[in-house]
Structures are given as C-alpha cells and as structure tokens.
Amino acid sequence: MIQNVMEIRWNDLQEMDMNKTVLFIGIAPIEEHGRHLPLGVDIYETQFWMDNTMKKLENEFSEYTFITLPVIPYGHAVMNGFRGNIHLSQKLFYDLILATLRNVVEWGVKNIIVISGHADPRHTIAIEQACESIKKESGVIAFAPMGAIFSGKVLLKTEDAICVEKQMKQFSDDFHAGWIETSNMLEIRPDLVHDNYKDQPDIKINGRDMIIPQVVSAATKDYGHLGCPKEASKEIGRILNEWTIQRIMHCVAAYLRRTDYDIYEHHQLYNIPSLRVKEEN
C-alpha cells in the first residue's frame, strides 16, 4: 500500500506497524535547467522515480506500507547568474534534512529512504552526512542511495542501459540539462520540454571541473546547460528513467532486507573533505 502523508491522520500513523512502514523523502531544488527545460526538472525526476519505485516495491514487499511526503523543494548548489534558482548553503541544507529526519524518527519511522534527482556531489554528500548523523543520534538507519547511483557504484545493467551507455561514451560529460535530463523530461513531462532543445549548442567541461563553481559558471553562462541537449529523445528517456528506477529498487530492496545495502550508502567522493559539510559552511 502507498499512502501520502498529506492525506492521512496522525492516528493512522499511530496504528501503522513501524517495522513494516517505509517513508520516502524526496528533496531537490528549484533550479535553472537551460533555455529548453523548466525550473522543476529535479523535482519532477525525484517524484517520478519515487512513485515508480514504490509501485514496483509494492509487489515485492506487499507486507509493507509505503508513505511519502511532498517533495521538499530545496537543495544545495552554487550556480550564480540565473533567475529561477533557490539554493541553500550546504550546511543549511544538511540542517534541513537532519531536522526532517529527527521529526520522522519521532513518529517512530524505522525505514527511511531519501531520494533526490539533483546530482551535485555536495548536495548528495550533505544528505548522506545527515543520514549518518541521525543514525548516531537515534540508531535509526536512513538510507540515501542516489550518491551511489549517480557515481556509478550500482552496477546493475539492463540490456537497454547498455545501449544507452554507448551514447554516454559518445556524448560524455552531460552534466546538467543536457541529453540525459532532456530525455528524462521528454518521458516525464513532454509538454514542458521546449522544442528549442534541438537548437541548443553542445557545451562541455570535464568531470573534474564540475566541482569548481567558477568553471561551471563560465561554461553555462547565457545558456544554463552543460552537455548536448539536441541528442535527447523520449525513447532514451524511457530507458534512462527505467534504469534509475531499477537501481533505486535494487538498493532499497537490499536496505529493507538489511543485507549488503551499506555499499550503496555513499557517493564515490564521500571522503573528500572539501565536498563535505563543515560547521561554518
């Protein structure tokens, strides 16, 4: 069963068996996504991936109740020079997640999954650090698999995904509002993808420079994307979304069984000190 917390009462929560209840928290920012995609891309992706993961989990874990919050429209990034961004500092974002986790732990929830469509490593790592903090404080394990998924640690591959990987090699470094996100949105909300995606120039920087805000700002200037939007298609979006959902499903299933899920707890770059939340950040 899937339930939205907006539609239930506090005593419904009281009556749930918390050992068999799973809370999904989606969190992603309002953010510019080029001249061809809407500001809500990361939120639409988050919602779509969560909803479809829960639908699959419902079959495999039919004894569980899955509950969701509305997607929290905040995140961390440094991206100046565009209208339409709402970004928090990494520390404030970490505090927001930790506060949310503290509240739901008070409800008695014992299975908490945090999903985000926003792939900035500092954003992802802040979520993972908040999960680590709540575990230290309360013993409750909150699980955020997107860092592992985005950084390529979840090796699960479908046949379709292998085909798309060829395109990933050919049109690599597609970091923001490029063919990957444009394709995703062509499946999720085609009505919100502006036809001018076919006219956007290819803009490329390498992966290492992605964590240097000045380089990112200079490259995205005037356009707002990083990658090759014109290579997008709805079919690729269908494959990419399904692959992401399969990987989330794989990680969450391991977490619910509490077997070998810890390999998916962290982004590849989790231990790099400059990417982590600092007290004075």
Binding interface with Zn ion (CB under 5 A): 41-42
Tokens of residue 101, six digits: 């986790």
Give least dist CB 119 to Zn ion, A: 7
Give least dist CB 33 to Zn ion, A: 6
Residue environment code for 83-97, b if the CB has 16+ CB neighbours within 10 A, otherwise e = eebebbebeebbebb
Q: Tokens 């920087």, residue?
A: 205
Q: Which residues contact 17 (CB under 8 A, 6 or more apart)?
A: 65
| CB-nearer residue toward Zn ion: 109 or 125 | 125
| CB-nearer residue toward Zn ion: 42 or 128 | 42
Q: CA-to-CA distance for 101 and 263, rounded, in angstroms? A: 21
Give least dist CB 184 to Zn ion, A: 9
CA angle in degrees (0–180, nearest 5) for 221-223-227: 100
Give least dist CB 231 to Zn ion, A: 16
The H or E element that residue 67 is part of is strand 65-68
| CB-nearer residue toward Zn ion: 42 or 231 | 42
Q: CA-to-CA distance for 105 and 117, rounded, in angstroms? A: 23
Q: CA-to-CA distance for 143 and 4, rounded, in angstroms? A: 19
Give least dist CB 190 to Zn ion, A: 17
Give least dist CB 259 to Zn ion, A: 32
| CB-nearer residue toward Zn ion: 31 or 265 | 31
Do 22 and 142 touch, CB atoms closer than 8 A?
Answer: no
| CB-nearer residue toward Zn ion: 105 or 239 | 239
Give least dist CB 34 to Zn ion, A: 10
Instruction: Label residue 106 exposed, middle or buried (CB < 10 Å: 0-12, 13-18, 19+).
Output: exposed
| CB-nearer residue toward Zn ion: 41 or 115 | 41
Beta-strand relationship, 65-68 and 21-26: parallel
Give least dist CB 201 to Zn ion, A: 19
Q: Tokens 């049109």, residue?
A: 171
Closest residue to bound Zn ion by CB: 42
| CB-nearer residue toward Zn ion: 75 or 145 | 75
Residue 111 has what DSSP assignment?
E
| CB-nearer residue toward Zn ion: 25 or 43 | 43
Q: CA-to-CA distance for 12 and 39, rounded, in angstroms? A: 35
Q: CA-to-CA distance for 104 and 31, rounded, in angstroms? A: 27
